[in-house]
Amino acid sequence: MLPANVFVSGHPLIQHKLSILRDKRIEPKKFRELIREISILLAYEATADLGLKPVAIETPLATAQCAHLTETIGLVPILRAGLGMVEGIWEMMPGAEVWHIGLFRDERTLRPVQYYNKLPIAPTVQVCLILDPMLATGGSAVATVDILKQWGAQRIKYVGIIGAPEGVTRLHKTHSDVAIHLAAVDERLNEIGYIVPGLGDAGDRQFGTG
């Protein structure tokens, strides 16, 4: 059973697209399209509890009682692989700000190494969606939440595509207030920290660098 605050989508569209995404035969173009589409669907689920305020809108016929979002949203892709998750989600919420965090995993220690962070001194958004397709050891996700909390972010959600049990547990135990949204939790990590069966290297497969 999954802990509270960890959500693995059972949506048929997401599951169908994920099966194609995992296939080693697909080209980077198709891989990028699927990352984009799955990200939109996951973000749709992850944002279901955003706040709304009532607004009155004049239609050509009458006044309609409607609703607008109350919170400002920040999309926080972790470079590089999180980049492919941004554009589609951004189209669904064009008012969002995008703040990049640059981290890579040291191949030997599997620890995250930070190389880019241009966050301003004070937080400018109320809800942060961390975007990164792969939650492996959880080191990069935990480091990113640490950075955002230090920045003063109040509400943080993690939107990924595949998690390893180790990474999900680590992120949840370290930051239990952060909701985790995924398309799948796989079997395990292998000896070099890759998710099995996973999909390989998400950055390389998007950018054709593998």
Smallest separation (angstroms) from ligand URA to the CB of 15: 19
Query: Which C-beta is closer to ligand URA: that of 134 or that of 179?
Result: 134
201 is catalytic: yes
105 is catalytic: yes
Smallest separation (angstroms) from ligand PRP to the CB of 53: 35
What gap in Å lies between CA 46 and CA 183, rounded to an integer?
Answer: 11
Residues that bind ligand URA (CB under 6 A): 81, 134, 136, 194-195, 198, 201-203
204 is catalytic: yes
Query: Which C-beta is closer to ligand PRP: that of 72 or that of 88?
Result: 88
Alpha-carbon distance values, 13 to 18, 80, 82, 89, 129 (Å): 8, 25, 21, 16, 21
What gap in Å lies between CA 202 and CA 77, rounded to an integer?
Answer: 13
Query: Which C-beta is closer to ligand PRP: that of 72 or that of 193?
Result: 193
Which one of 22, 72, 124, 201 is the catalytic residue? Answer: 201
**Does residue 129 contact residue 46 with C-beta atoms inside 8 Å?**
yes
205 is catalytic: no
What gap in Å lies between CA 185 and CA 161, rounded to an integer?
Answer: 9
Nearest position to ligand PRP, beta carbon: 203
Give the residue from 205, 168, 210 showing the smallest Cα distance to 84.
205
The residues assigned a catalytic role are: 105, 109, 201, 204
